[in-house]
Amino acid sequence: MYKVDYHHHSKFSFDGKDFLEDICKKAIEIDLNEICFTEHFDVDPKDVSYGVLDYKAYHECIELCKQKYGNKLNIKRGLEIGEPHLKPYLETLKNEVEKMDLDFIIGSVHNINSVKLRLTMPSKTKSKIYEDYFNEILAMVKIADIDVIGHLDLMKRYAFADYGNYEFEDYKDIIEEILTIAIKRNIGLEINTSGLRNKVNEVYPKIEILNLYKNLGGKIITIGSDSHSTNDCFSYCKQGYDLLKACGFEKIYTFTKRCPIEHKI
Ligand SMILES: [Zn+2]
Ligand SMILES: [Zn+2]
């Protein structure tokens, strides 16, 4: 099994707790074959990550770690871009990304209309909460320049306490539209295991979405813990692999210079 963690944050992200080098050491300790750092990056001035990433330092740090640990661990440079589809910032984002030497880009929805998901819920019904979220993902997948959709169905993390989980059948049509467009545009899906670390106790996205993606012909899948500390590196990723196998996937993907590479599970 090719062991990877393709969603990891370090201190280069506003909410990352540990140094990138320490995370590499941990990854080697637990026998990972490859790790991809996916630091937060946002071009919306209202987002908490705006202006946080020191790309030059990030680039240099990765290069240094590659020199030191490259014989034991494949280390990749990625970003998790929040709302990479916002029209006013498309040009800025394109210019910024072009300057970077990236292996991988996760596209994520953390905000709707510049408001954090958690804060978009008051005054909405449960169905409106989930509907608005999936519509934002749909808008993203239509135009964003990304390699995978990050933690699809993250809304359940925030809605869970007050409204519970959602029923796949209630949103099947829009989810199918999202996945169909993603496949057409060569955008993959990540299985994000951080949901297994909180009350939702379920991966993002839920298994029905993984099955639908498979049935629609989707192939590109990455696995990530969305860890923000050395302790959570690869956490629950083994379960992620098992789940993918159970859904009939035979391969997982890594990326080099934004090109997908398949590996047998
Ligand atoms: Zn995220
Ligand atoms: Zn993340």
Domain architecture of the chain: domains with CATH: 4-264 (3.20.20.140)
Place of tokens 């210019």: 95
Ligand 1 mean position, distance from CA 146 (Å)? 14
CB of 30 within 8 A of CB of 5?
no
Average pLDDT for 170-184: 98
Rounded CA gap, 230 and 249, in Å?
Answer: 28
Enter the tokens of residue 184.
Answer: 């057409």
Ligand 1 mean position, distance from CA 150 (Å)? 7
**Positive or negative CA dihedral for 67, 237, 196, 188?**
positive
Ligand 2 mean position, distance from CA 111 (Å)? 13
Average pLDDT for 245-254: 97
Ligand 2 mean position, distance from CA 82 (Å)? 9
Ligand in closest contact with the CA of 13: 2
Ligand 2 mean position, distance from CA 176 (Å)? 24
Q: Can you give the pLDDT at residue 123?
A: 87
pLDDT in tens, 1-36: 999 999 999 999 999 999 999 999 999 999 999 999
Average pLDDT for 162-190: 97
Q: What is the mean pLDDT of the chain?
A: 97
Ligand in closest contact with the CA of 9: 2
